[in-house]
Chain A
Amino acid sequence: SQQGEEDPQALSIQEGENATMNCSYKTSINNLQWYRQNSGRGLVHLILIRSNEREKHSGRLRVTLDTSKKSSSLLITASRAADTASYFCATDAGWSTGFQKLVFGTGTRLLVSP
Protein backbone atom coordinates (compact mmCIF):
# COMPACT_ATOMS: atom_id res chain seq x y z
CA SER A 1 0.00 0.00 0.00
CA GLN A 2 1.12 3.56 -0.59
CA GLN A 3 2.36 5.41 2.43
CA GLY A 4 2.14 8.98 1.23
CA GLU A 5 -1.19 10.65 0.70
CA GLU A 6 -1.25 14.07 -0.89
CA ASP A 7 -3.87 16.68 -0.29
CA PRO A 8 -5.54 18.17 -2.24
CA GLN A 9 -5.84 15.75 -5.16
CA ALA A 10 -6.16 18.70 -7.53
CA LEU A 11 -5.44 22.41 -7.23
CA SER A 12 -6.25 25.20 -9.67
CA ILE A 13 -4.76 28.69 -9.21
CA GLN A 14 -3.84 31.82 -11.15
CA GLU A 15 -0.31 32.80 -12.08
CA GLY A 16 1.39 34.71 -9.31
CA GLU A 17 -0.53 32.95 -6.53
CA ASN A 18 1.06 30.53 -4.10
CA ALA A 19 0.33 26.81 -4.21
CA THR A 20 0.45 24.60 -1.12
CA MET A 21 0.36 20.81 -1.21
CA ASN A 22 0.36 18.52 1.78
CA CYS A 23 1.61 14.98 2.30
CA SER A 24 0.88 12.62 5.16
CA TYR A 25 2.64 9.35 5.82
CA LYS A 26 2.35 6.47 8.25
CA THR A 27 5.70 5.15 9.45
CA SER A 28 9.04 6.52 10.56
CA ILE A 29 11.18 7.86 7.75
CA ASN A 30 14.79 8.69 6.97
CA ASN A 31 13.86 11.41 4.52
CA LEU A 32 10.97 12.73 2.46
CA GLN A 33 11.32 13.78 -1.15
CA TRP A 34 9.15 15.79 -3.52
CA TYR A 35 9.01 15.11 -7.25
CA ARG A 36 7.30 16.82 -10.18
CA GLN A 37 5.84 15.02 -13.19
CA ASN A 38 4.81 16.81 -16.34
CA SER A 39 2.12 15.09 -18.39
CA GLY A 40 3.46 11.99 -20.12
CA ARG A 41 6.98 12.45 -18.75
CA GLY A 42 9.14 10.98 -16.03
CA LEU A 43 9.52 12.33 -12.51
CA VAL A 44 11.95 15.10 -11.71
CA HIS A 45 13.41 15.39 -8.23
CA LEU A 46 12.68 18.74 -6.60
CA ILE A 47 13.85 18.63 -3.01
CA LEU A 48 14.82 16.22 -0.24
CA ILE A 49 14.30 16.94 3.44
CA ARG A 50 15.88 14.74 6.10
CA SER A 51 14.04 13.56 9.17
CA ASN A 52 16.07 15.87 11.42
CA GLU A 53 15.26 18.95 9.33
CA ARG A 54 12.12 21.05 9.73
CA GLU A 55 12.26 23.36 6.75
CA LYS A 56 14.13 23.60 3.49
CA HIS A 57 14.14 26.10 0.62
CA SER A 58 15.10 25.81 -3.02
CA GLY A 59 14.34 28.79 -5.22
CA ARG A 60 10.55 29.30 -5.15
CA LEU A 61 10.04 26.03 -3.27
CA ARG A 62 9.64 25.72 0.47
CA VAL A 63 9.23 22.35 2.15
CA THR A 64 8.36 21.73 5.77
CA LEU A 65 8.44 18.48 7.69
CA ASP A 66 6.67 17.68 10.94
CA THR A 67 7.71 14.21 12.04
CA SER A 68 5.44 14.33 15.11
CA LYS A 69 2.43 14.69 12.82
CA LYS A 70 3.98 12.59 10.05
CA SER A 71 3.27 15.29 7.52
CA SER A 72 5.03 17.55 5.04
CA SER A 73 4.02 20.48 2.92
CA LEU A 74 5.33 21.87 -0.36
CA LEU A 75 4.82 25.56 -1.05
CA ILE A 76 5.41 27.00 -4.50
CA THR A 77 5.52 30.79 -4.38
CA ALA A 78 4.66 33.16 -7.24
CA SER A 79 3.48 30.27 -9.41
CA ARG A 80 3.90 30.24 -13.18
CA ALA A 81 2.03 28.43 -15.93
CA ALA A 82 5.12 26.25 -16.33
CA ASP A 83 4.55 24.91 -12.79
CA THR A 84 1.49 23.03 -14.11
CA ALA A 85 2.26 19.38 -13.32
CA SER A 86 1.57 16.59 -10.84
CA TYR A 87 3.53 16.69 -7.61
CA PHE A 88 4.37 13.57 -5.61
CA CYS A 89 5.82 13.08 -2.18
CA ALA A 90 7.93 10.00 -1.58
CA THR A 91 9.09 8.66 1.74
CA ASP A 92 12.32 6.79 2.28
CA ALA A 93 12.34 4.48 5.26
CA GLY A 94 16.07 4.04 4.91
CA TRP A 95 17.91 0.82 5.24
CA SER A 96 15.38 -0.88 7.47
CA THR A 97 14.02 -2.28 4.23
CA GLY A 98 17.47 -3.43 3.12
CA PHE A 99 17.71 -0.95 0.26
CA GLN A 100 16.63 2.52 -0.66
CA LYS A 101 12.90 2.08 -1.14
CA LEU A 102 10.82 5.11 -1.99
CA VAL A 103 7.10 4.86 -1.32
CA PHE A 104 5.14 7.34 -3.44
CA GLY A 105 1.88 9.06 -2.72
CA THR A 106 -0.95 9.47 -5.21
CA GLY A 107 0.01 13.02 -6.18
CA THR A 108 -1.51 16.49 -6.41
CA ARG A 109 -2.40 17.79 -9.88
CA LEU A 110 -1.60 21.49 -10.06
CA LEU A 111 -3.02 23.71 -12.80
CA VAL A 112 -1.70 27.25 -13.03
CA SER A 113 -3.70 29.47 -15.37
CA PRO A 114 -2.21 32.55 -17.06
Chain B
Amino acid sequence: DGGITQSPKYLFRKEGQNVTLSCEQNLNHDAMYWYRQDPGQGLRLIYYSQIVNDFQKGDIAEGYSVSREKKESFPLTVTSAQKNPTAFYLCASSIDRSTLNQPQHFGDGTRLSIL
Protein backbone atom coordinates (compact mmCIF):
# COMPACT_ATOMS: atom_id res chain seq x y z
CA ASP B 1 0.00 0.00 0.00
CA GLY B 2 1.21 3.49 -0.82
CA GLY B 3 1.46 6.00 1.96
CA ILE B 4 3.51 8.27 4.15
CA THR B 5 5.63 6.95 6.99
CA GLN B 6 6.75 9.18 9.81
CA SER B 7 9.24 8.13 12.45
CA PRO B 8 9.68 8.02 15.31
CA LYS B 9 6.14 8.18 16.73
CA TYR B 10 7.42 9.77 19.95
CA LEU B 11 10.58 11.85 20.37
CA PHE B 12 12.13 13.64 23.30
CA ARG B 13 14.51 16.55 23.03
CA LYS B 14 16.99 17.81 25.58
CA GLU B 15 17.93 21.45 25.97
CA GLY B 16 20.27 22.66 23.22
CA GLN B 17 19.77 19.54 21.14
CA ASN B 18 18.78 19.30 17.49
CA VAL B 19 16.44 16.46 16.56
CA THR B 20 15.40 15.16 13.14
CA LEU B 21 11.97 13.83 12.24
CA SER B 22 11.75 11.44 9.34
CA CYS B 23 9.13 11.50 6.58
CA GLU B 24 9.12 8.99 3.71
CA GLN B 25 6.48 8.59 1.00
CA ASN B 26 6.01 5.99 -1.73
CA LEU B 27 3.15 7.76 -3.48
CA ASN B 28 5.43 9.22 -6.16
CA HIS B 29 4.25 12.69 -5.13
CA ASP B 30 6.34 15.73 -6.03
CA ALA B 31 5.07 18.05 -3.30
CA MET B 32 5.69 17.51 0.40
CA TYR B 33 4.79 19.54 3.47
CA TRP B 34 5.53 19.79 7.19
CA TYR B 35 2.89 21.02 9.63
CA ARG B 36 2.87 21.70 13.34
CA GLN B 37 -0.25 21.03 15.41
CA ASP B 38 -0.68 22.39 18.93
CA PRO B 39 -3.45 21.19 21.27
CA GLY B 40 -6.88 22.43 20.26
CA GLN B 41 -5.54 24.15 17.18
CA GLY B 42 -5.40 23.54 13.49
CA LEU B 43 -2.32 22.85 11.43
CA ARG B 44 0.30 25.48 10.69
CA LEU B 45 2.69 25.16 7.75
CA ILE B 46 6.40 24.98 8.61
CA TYR B 47 8.08 24.18 5.29
CA TYR B 48 7.07 22.84 1.91
CA SER B 49 8.87 21.38 -1.08
CA GLN B 50 7.52 21.28 -4.60
CA ILE B 51 10.35 19.28 -6.14
CA VAL B 52 13.64 17.61 -5.28
CA ASN B 53 16.38 20.01 -4.14
CA ASP B 54 13.88 22.81 -3.63
CA PHE B 55 12.02 23.90 -0.51
CA GLN B 56 10.40 27.06 0.81
CA LYS B 57 9.53 28.49 4.21
CA GLY B 58 5.97 28.30 5.39
CA ASP B 59 4.29 30.43 8.03
CA ILE B 60 6.33 29.32 11.07
CA ALA B 61 9.76 28.27 9.73
CA GLU B 62 11.91 29.88 12.44
CA GLY B 63 13.85 27.27 14.41
CA TYR B 64 13.32 24.54 11.81
CA SER B 65 15.26 23.29 8.79
CA VAL B 66 14.56 20.75 6.04
CA SER B 67 16.21 19.04 3.09
CA ARG B 68 14.84 17.36 -0.02
CA GLU B 69 17.63 15.29 -1.56
CA LYS B 70 15.31 12.52 -2.70
CA LYS B 71 11.75 12.60 -3.99
CA GLU B 72 10.66 10.11 -1.35
CA SER B 73 12.17 11.82 1.68
CA PHE B 74 11.59 15.18 3.41
CA PRO B 75 13.21 15.19 6.88
CA LEU B 76 12.55 18.01 9.34
CA THR B 77 15.17 19.15 11.87
CA VAL B 78 13.97 20.94 14.97
CA THR B 79 16.92 23.05 16.04
CA SER B 80 17.82 24.40 19.47
CA ALA B 81 16.67 27.79 18.20
CA GLN B 82 13.07 26.57 18.38
CA LYS B 83 12.23 27.53 21.95
CA ASN B 84 8.82 25.90 22.11
CA PRO B 85 9.14 22.67 20.13
CA THR B 86 6.61 20.58 22.05
CA ALA B 87 3.93 19.75 19.49
CA PHE B 88 2.55 17.13 17.13
CA TYR B 89 4.33 17.23 13.76
CA LEU B 90 2.61 16.06 10.61
CA CYS B 91 4.11 15.40 7.20
CA ALA B 92 1.96 15.46 4.07
CA SER B 93 2.29 15.10 0.33
CA SER B 94 0.32 15.94 -2.78
CA ILE B 95 0.70 15.07 -6.44
CA ASP B 96 2.42 18.20 -7.70
CA ARG B 97 1.99 21.93 -7.87
CA SER B 98 0.56 21.96 -11.39
CA THR B 99 -2.50 19.84 -10.58
CA LEU B 100 -5.41 21.79 -9.16
CA ASN B 101 -7.97 20.51 -6.65
CA GLN B 102 -5.93 17.75 -5.12
CA PRO B 103 -6.06 16.45 -1.55
CA GLN B 104 -3.09 16.11 0.72
CA HIS B 105 -2.10 12.76 2.17
CA PHE B 106 -0.83 12.67 5.73
CA GLY B 107 1.43 10.50 7.84
CA ASP B 108 0.52 9.53 11.40
CA GLY B 109 2.68 12.17 12.99
CA THR B 110 5.54 12.49 15.46
CA ARG B 111 4.90 13.80 18.95
CA LEU B 112 7.87 15.81 20.18
CA SER B 113 8.33 16.62 23.86
CA ILE B 114 10.98 18.40 25.90
CA LEU B 115 12.87 16.56 28.62
Contacts and interface: CB of A to CB of B under 8 A. Distances in A.
Interface of A: 2, 4, 30-31, 33, 35, 40-45, 48, 50, 88, 90, 92, 94-95, 99-102, 104-107
Question: Interface SS of chain B: helix, strand, loop or mixed?
Answer: strand
Given A41-B109, A101-B45, A30 B97 contact: no
Contact of A88 (B43, B56, B102, B108): B43
Contacts of B97: 95, 99-100
B45 A42 contact: no
Contacts of A33: 103
Nearest to B43: A104
Contacts of B101: 30-31, 48, 50, 92
A30 B99 CA distance: 12
A101 B50 CA distance: 11
B94 A100 contact: yes
A2 B107 contact: no
Given A43-B104, A100-B102, A102-B45, 8 more contacts: A2-B41, A30-B100, A43-B106, A48-B103, A94-B100, A99-B97, A104-B43, A104-B44
A50 B94 CA distance: 17
Contacts of B105: 45
